[in-house]
Structure 1
């Protein structure tokens, strides 16, 4: 047993400019707090490992993101206790020869696929990344997508696109738009991560493709910054990143105390699918209803009435009402109010806006009227809804 009187010195090597690494770090912190363990921790002030800076291995242990090949190369011959975190791979030979905690890529892609299937989708596509050593995980996810489709008897569409920069950003969007326009209507797209999903939302807006009425989209990571920047809220797979960090810290502490821990990778399944508007798909074939729903989604909170929807479609009210009843079993008026409530619920859960501001943004003439209608529909006030479901959302899974 290895016990020290002073805290163990631990180095964390991560590039925490994304939610994936940040949540792993949070999981490490959760372990230390829950077990009342004190480590003397070093992490770069920028939260990003700088490969141009010389690194002295004056520490007792390291937890590092092995998805970064430069970090993996740096640690290849280091004898200090190391715990790796990163992506899962196809075979054991692809893993580093250290105790390793991995995001279960098969379970991640399967979760996204099953979510689309549950929405009634039967055509699938995958938007990945060009192959390179810095994103081997993307190639693994693409291969798993192919594997799942083969198992289920589906054919799919795959596009890797370009690695984008400020110089080629517009060119990349143009090419992506052409690929999206080539897809059959009602295709469900799995993006390799939320950043690539955001590209699709931009390209669809550019090409006039309606999400989710014509194409459905789900990303991976639950990157809140990406969702905040997107006009259409993005459905996503929330990875078990905090659990990964928790387990990595646990393995390192066991290594300190017992000397050895298993080297075989520990796979961590995703937490859940967070369903938002980008997969709020309804199996509708009527082009007038598709167009009307898209108009309602974009304008319901601006106080539109049924007459404005009719005017936009340029067909008779009775004709469009019949089409809505046939396709949705609902009136146009009901769909408008449903969209306003959906937006209100989204803002109550995903933003810190005041209820009065949410009431105004959703097109209600007064906050009192908003309270009255919301309680009539859901049996609780907007304040109670926010308190109840925000607590459930933040509770450990």
Structure 2
């Protein structure tokens, strides 16, 4: 039985997902014995280097934290989830921040927003990369984003007032990407101070889908879901290989974004055309079944020709294209979160066979449904 030091703070959603993946691998291929952080209320105490040495572990999976860094001196096979910069001598668990920023931008564009903003934290590499990707995707669509970074100096009250003033100065309505769920509280409070309604004036999206943080927000916050469980599983798989083969590895474990968990903070269409907004809601509410353009037209009190032109003006795409996008997103969710066969998903969506779904899916997602399931499944 392998003995693994697992230094993860499971009070946060990101680490919880990684740990679930590690445990899943352990149950399937172990079992492993874990040395882990125990809360003080349960009899735990600060972990000391001597404790780790005496335990005679085979390997380590850890989150970068100042109090954990002594574990590096044990010179054991180790995989680390860095918070700042990468560790060149060890495999790193890294988030695909380029895909994260693009997904958040796409979410706002899908909802018809024309004004955008990004809230980041200082010189953190992951925040900068998310901002760059967010801006790049918007630039591709012909838009720019207003940006704001947490100031280094000043009291909490002063920082809150500066943020509120910035938010108040933005053209409305706007979509605001917060670099991580952990920073969302400041933005929600600043919106309240600035007198901005969420999501009518400001729509907010976070990153990480930490359910407790998102549900504590008022209103509940939408967030980019990260496939941390898959990353945790792959990290455990790589660590087992390193231990069994007694070899080092420079391989990175990539945490991919899956989809946006939509909650009230972005559950709005940023268009003055109420009929377009109603039609889009109809499409998304019925994305898991066959939808015809005629059915969409019947859901609103305007003609087919008028709705077609209104869609193009408000969203830059046709009714049929919106149906295809919504169904591809539904299929993606089914591929990663269920065991349904591709043909079953295709039939649910009204396609005669898997080949037709694959053609549409590849056009929207850039890969086949099978490849998508292999890459992103939890």
**TM-score bin (small chain):** 0.5 to 0.7
Q: Which of 108, 120, 124 is the equivalent residue of 2:112?
A: 120
- After superposition, the C-alpha distances for 1:47-74 in whole angstroms (9 at most, x for unaligned) are 9x987844543311001123x3664x43
Is residue 28 from structure 1 mapped to residue 26 from structure 2 by the alignment?
no
- After superposition, the C-alpha distances for 1:223-269 in whole angstroms (9 at most, x for unaligned) are 12122322212110011111111111111111222223641313231
2:188 alignment counterpart? 201
Larger mean CA deviation between 235-244 and 169-178 belongs to 169-178
2:345 alignment counterpart? none
Q: Which of 26, 29, 36 is the equivalent residue of 1:43?
A: 36
Superposed counterparts of 1:213-292, under 5 Å: 213-260=200-247, 262-285=249-272
Superposed counterparts of 1:290-369, under 5 Å: 327-329=273-275
Asked if 1 retains the 8 angstrom alpha-carbon contact of 2:38 and 2:45, the reply is no
Asked if 2 retains the 8 angstrom alpha-carbon contact of 1:87 and 1:105, the reply is no
The alpha-carbon distance between structure 1 residues 87 and 271, as it changes in their structure 2 partners (threshold 3 A), is farther
* SS of structure 2 residue aligned to 1:84: strand
> How many angstroms apart in 1 are the aligned matches of 2:140 and 2:66?
32
The alignment's TM-score, normalised by the length of structure 1, stands at 0.62
Q: Which of 81, 96, 112 is the equivalent residue of 1:85?
A: 81
| Residue segments in structure 2 that go unaligned for 5+ positions in a row | 286-333, 339-376
* SS of structure 2 residue aligned to 1:218: strand
| Residue segments in structure 1 that go unaligned for 5+ positions in a row | 1-6, 286-326, 343-390
C-alpha RMSD of matched pairs (Å)? 3.5
> How many angstroms apart in 1 are the aligned matches of 2:207 and 2:71?
28
> How many angstroms apart in 2 are the aligned matches of 1:251 and 1:114?
33
Superposed counterparts of 1:101-116, under 5 Å: 101-116=93-108
> How many angstroms apart in 1 are the aligned matches of 2:219 and 2:130?
24
1:61 alignment counterpart? 59
- After superposition, the C-alpha distances for 1:331-355 in whole angstroms (9 at most, x for unaligned) are xxx9xxx9xxx9xxxxxxxxxxxxx
2:134 alignment counterpart? 145
Larger radius of gyration: 1
> How many angstroms apart in 2 are the aligned matches of 1:283 and 1:392?
29
Asked if 1 retains the 8 angstrom alpha-carbon contact of 2:214 and 2:223, the reply is no
Deviation of 1:25 after TM superposition, in Å, equals 0.8
The alpha-carbon distance between structure 1 residues 127 and 50, as it changes in their structure 2 partners (threshold 3 A), is farther
> How many angstroms apart in 1 are the aligned matches of 2:84 and 2:256?
10
Deviation of 1:207 after TM superposition, in Å, equals 2.0
2:348 alignment counterpart? none
* SS of structure 1 residue aligned to 2:113: coil
Deviation of 1:169 after TM superposition, in Å, equals 3.7
Asked if 1 retains the 8 angstrom alpha-carbon contact of 2:242 and 2:248, the reply is yes
Asked if 2 retains the 8 angstrom alpha-carbon contact of 1:180 and 1:204, the reply is yes
* SS of structure 1 residue aligned to 2:184: helix
Deviation of 1:155 after TM superposition, in Å, equals 2.1
* SS of structure 2 residue aligned to 1:329: helix
* SS of structure 2 residue aligned to 1:271: strand
Is residue 16 from structure 1 mapped to residue 10 from structure 2 by the alignment?
yes
- After superposition, the C-alpha distances for 1:306-358 in whole angstroms (9 at most, x for unaligned) are xxxxxxxxxxxxxxxxxxxxx4139xxx9xxx9xxx9xxxxxxxxxxxxxxxx
Asked if 2 retains the 8 angstrom alpha-carbon contact of 1:100 and 1:266, the reply is yes
> How many angstroms apart in 2 are the aligned matches of 1:153 and 1:78?
52
2:148 alignment counterpart? 159
Larger mean CA deviation between 23-32 and 13-22 belongs to 13-22
Deviation of 1:12 after TM superposition, in Å, equals 1.0
Asked if 2 retains the 8 angstrom alpha-carbon contact of 1:82 and 1:98, the reply is yes
The alignment's TM-score, normalised by the length of structure 2, stands at 0.65
